[in-house]
Chains A and B, each alone.
Chain A
């Protein structure tokens, strides 16, 4: 059974502490408690011990602070700065410290819930529509592909006015992003520029 420190033990312990402080202060030794047994108590298990540690990072600015994400049952319970990082050396700024909230937070009933503001479904708005409709990936991806093909085919230029082979479409643009991974950016670039012939492609480094 867990044994927590009692009020009585607390005062006893405090006495030792005070005596210790006095000892180190050199004001005068009070040896009365020196031989007495210290209260024995066990700490409850360290709460983060049950969690999984994952090395990750912070998305909020260009400093590139490293974080350790502590998660349990697919929920983030705590995030701290990675002490191995030479940039943040185990610390985080207020923005980084608030990172768990984007995934989940503790509500008023003290339950850990997913952030209700996050998008969890594919949304679609039809032309002239006044509200979002919830859709599935299986519907959305082929629909997007159809529109991409239609627009690309209608506005594809094989040669320009001077007869130079250009193989481009100037009717599709791609914006972003500086907040996704390198591999994702690379793949999007390959898809847009390499496969579709998109020329208007930019992200917010320009701004």
Chain B
């Protein structure tokens, strides 16, 4: 999110698309309500007439999956009627940047389409900026036909109200009301707040949907002012935190890209490819060195590239949730950990995901309840005797049964204390992860494949007289410390790339 929930009260106009805060984020709705009491307007775009829509000034119904048409229509309307914020677009966006002359868009296809291994994909080389040495070429008059502004203008010009109405199914008169109403936020003193959630993201082209929302907001100059921005509201208490901690296939921790065998076979390659020359990411070598130091401790030295090779390298292919399930269905994945997540309900194509689990040799589920994923072997229509997967279900602890921090949607980090003991033998995930690691390490003491990272991993979280690992030690490791004296670092600005600091997550 670009704004905090408490900033919603400064908004002048809301565009809520693919989100139903009245039911799904009631506390966000409270802040929207505060703004509306002060006179803010709300436009709700949703195929369903939701409880949020019931409170809207303008409700825009549309066919599911036609968000891009609606948003491009909005962009086109703003450009044609000169309702966008000129100064913002010129100075704070890439509108004036020049794109390679090889770029084109014809017949519904972008340049660079190639067939590779029987699959069609884009080679994005022709989409790059024109460069003058290290600098990107610009045209501040926005007249060059290859500048981003002209290309975008041409691209969205097809989305006139009539066409949009045909695609989205929205009556033209509603579009004629909604578009100018939201373009009001293009005035320099008006803040427009675009809120979306899974209605925008949960599509196979979710990335393009989110891009369109961002383009709208940049065009109207709504980013970087109180009450204005793009606000994807997270659906669970620690989605943001889990992303920061690197629970994503493409990030190690703190949004450092995962090492990829095709792009960065060595530490030097990684730094060369991944470190930009300018911006805060130019400090990336410090982040990576400190992370490796936090994980591999004394073994990670400057001479051995901080044990960069101990990190697993991806094969350059997609390993996201859905690809992992495809891999499971094809029989490549043999062991599954399902930690406080229920893919058989929450994942796409639920019945095939449950079926894919039959191919695993073993599965470990950690949850509060016996969920559908853990019980996949007794789902309707299957004979449990035919399913060979071993299933371990471990009882976990609830938010007020364990101590620790969670990060909300607008990145407020809160420490939560433990109020009561988990019931029966249930344990916190911290305890479970700690015990599994120790047991695995014990197994590897007697040898095995590539034992180095398992045996040398920094793992000293025991607290005398206490069952639970010492969470404060883990918090310090995430924050970062000075290797020589263990002093806790003040900010990520203190991180070094010479191995003198260790830091689990630089963010």
Where the two chains meet, the residues of A that have a C-beta atom closer than 8 Å to any C-beta of B are: 52, 54-67, 69, 71, 74-76, 79, 86-88, 91, 93-95, 99, 102-103, 114-115, 117-130, 132, 136-137, 140-149, 151-156, 158, 160, 162, 164-207
Contact = CB atoms under 8 A, between A and B. Distances in A.
B313 A184 contact: no
22 contacts: A54-B400, A54-B419, A55-B416, A55-B417, A61-B27, A62-B25, A64-B409, A69-B400, A102-B398, A119-B424, A122-B395, A124-B390, A153-B448, A162-B261, A171-B332, A175-B339, A177-B341, A180-B340, A181-B402, A183-B430, A187-B433, A193-B252
B425 A183 contact: no
Given A87-B27, A172-B334, A175-B324, 7 more contacts: A56-B419, A173-B336, A178-B239, A179-B237, A186-B474, A197-B453, A205-B247
B202 A207 contact: yes
A203 B139 CA distance: 42
Nearest to A169: B312
Contacts of A183: 404-405, 430, 471, 474-475, 478
Nearest to A69: B419
Contacts of A165: 265, 309, 313
A67 B416 CA distance: 9
A202 B321 contact: yes
Given A175-B337, A187-B433, A166 B312 contact: yes
Given A91-B30, A200-B324, A62 B313 contact: no
Contacts of B242: 176-178, 180, 182, 185, 203, 205
A93 B247 CA distance: 29
A141 B478 CA distance: 26
A64 B412 contact: yes
A28 B426 CA distance: 66
Interface string B322-345: 111001100011111111110100
Contact of A145 (B332, B400, B439): B439
Interface string B439-468: 111111000111001100100010000000
A57 B237 contact: yes
Interface stretch (B164-172, B215-223, B363-371): B363-371
A28 to B, nearest CB: 38
Contacts of A52: 419
Interface stretch (B42-50, B60-68, B109-117, B228-236): B228-236
B27 A63 contact: yes
Contacts of A176: 242, 247, 337-341
Contacts of B135: none
A62 B338 CA distance: 21
A189 B395 contact: no
A191 B5 contact: no
Contacts of B444: 149
B426 A164 contact: no
Nearest to A100: B400
From A61, A176, A184, A203, residue with most partner B Cβ within 10 Å:
A184
Given A69-B400, A206-B248, A173 B341 contact: no
B333 A200 contact: yes
B449 A156 contact: yes
Contacts of B335: 147-148, 151, 171-173
Given A56-B419, A175-B341, A120 B395 contact: yes
B253 interface: yes
Interface stretch (B79-87, B96-104, B380-388): B380-388
A71 B346 CA distance: 32
A95 B405 CA distance: 21
A62 B408 contact: yes
A186 B245 contact: yes
Chain B contact patch, size range: 35 or more
A137 B435 contact: yes
Given A119-B393, A170-B332, A172-B337, A128 B384 contact: yes
A182 B478 contact: yes
A156 B450 contact: yes
B121 interface: no
Contact of B425 (A121, A128, A129, A174): A121
A65 B416 CA distance: 11
Contact of A186 (B249, B324, B441, B478): B478
Most buried by B among A114, A123, A179: A179
B429 A188 contact: yes
Given A128-B387, A179-B237, A198 B312 contact: yes
Contact of A65 (B27, B198, B334, B341): B27
B498 interface: no
Given A62-B236, A147-B335, A121 B390 contact: no
Interface string B14-31: 000000000011111010
B354 interface: no
A155 B315 CA distance: 15
Nearest to A57: B416
A63 B312 CA distance: 34
Contacts of B407: 64, 182
B394 interface: yes
B125 interface: no
A137 B501 CA distance: 36
A94 B340 CA distance: 23
B408 A63 contact: yes
A84 B206 CA distance: 36
Chain A CB within 10 Å, residue with most, of B417, B419, B469: B419
B17 to A, nearest CB: 17
Contacts of B505: 186
B460 to A, nearest CB: 12
Which 4 A-B pairs have CB atoms at the shortest separation, nearest pair first? A64-B408, A120-B424, A62-B234, A181-B404
B389 to A, nearest CB: 7
B312 A179 contact: no
B436 A145 contact: yes
A145 B450 contact: no
Given A64-B409, A186-B253, A199 B319 contact: yes
Contact of A58 (B237, B246, B384, B469): B237
B474 A87 contact: no
Contacts of B346: 204, 207
B92 to A, nearest CB: 27
Contact of A122 (B323, B377, B392, B420): B392
Contacts of B25: 61-63
B364 A144 contact: yes
